[in-house]
Amino acid sequence: MIELANFERFGGVNGLRLSHSCNVTVENLMFVNPPHYTIYLGDSEDVTIRNVKSFSCEGWSDGIDMMSCRNVLVDGGFLRTSDDCIAIYASRWDNRGDSRNITVRNLSVWADVAHPLMIGTHGAHEEEGDVIEDILFENIDILEHHEYQAGYLGAMAINAGDKNVVRNVTYRNIRIEPFAHGKVLDFQVKWNKDYNPAPGRLISDIRLEQIHVMSGRGEEPSCICGHDEQNHVEKIEIRSFFRDGVRAESLAQANIVVGMYAKAVVLS
């Protein structure tokens, strides 16, 4: 157990930082109140994280955040974090390049605010952006999502900013408990001016399979939309989406709204 409660709030201390690293295994650690990320992964590859638990309550105290990482497996564990539980980004700070081949599975996540599962915000905006691809979320329980800021909703969120392309992402066997406030999913190519000097470019080839949602009073309609004609969303396939044990036969029954600049969104 790594106890971090006595470190200064907003001091930027992470529970564990792996920067420009490769061939690393992290197992059976518990973190209590890290002031910043529980595990920071930057420009690293061939990393395995097994059975990590975290409990945090400070602002920006995320769970496991990955920037410009390749070949990462997160397997098992429990994350109750004040901010995003899992976040997958591309270029940020001294970490440069695409993110790809990342699997997150057999996990329970509880976000006090922000997103349980997040992809896409940061990238090489000063250049031509990055690619975030080949991502799998599998066998995950989402226990809470409690966010009221309109730009940060989504238990499963892909918010492509900074000229990023996000593609080939699969969510499989995801169970979502009733949550305090938010959206089940939020897939947007967007320009979040708090963090993005430019909008993202594309979200494409996203698959959702065996999604089980228990309705809560704080749920807003899910959203799939692009930013404009050039910066859009396409090829979203939703299979076996269940709400309160009943299989949704339409996007309306799934409480999903398809907005502008989104095409080829199919529920079956």
pLDDT tens, the chain, 268 aa long: 999 988 888 788 999 999 999 999 999 999 999 999 999 999 999 999 999 999 999 888 999 999 999 999 999 999 999 999 999 999 999 999 999 999 999 999 999 999 999 999 999 999 999 999 999 999 999 999 999 999 999 999 999 999 999 999 999 999 999 999 999 999 999 999 999 999 999 999 999 999 999 999 999 999 999 999 999 999 999 999 999 999 999 999 999 999 999 999 999 9
pLDDT of residue 9: 80
pLDDT of res. 93: 97
Q: Where are the beta strands (DSSP E) in 29-98?
A: 30-32, 39-42, 45-55, 64-67, 70-81, 86-89
User: Do residues 180 and 218 touch, judged by C-beta distance below 8 A?
Assistant: yes
User: 28-49 burial by CB neighbour count: b if 16+ within 10 A, else e?
Assistant: ebbbbbbbbbbbbbbbbbebeb
In angstroms, the Cα distances linking 108 to 77, 175, 194 are 7, 10, 29
Provide the whole-model pTM. 0.98
Evaluate the CA torsion angle 159, 162, 167, 173 in order and state its sign.
negative
Tokens found for residue 76: 């098992």
Angle at 110 between CA 51 and CA 41, to 5 degrees: 55
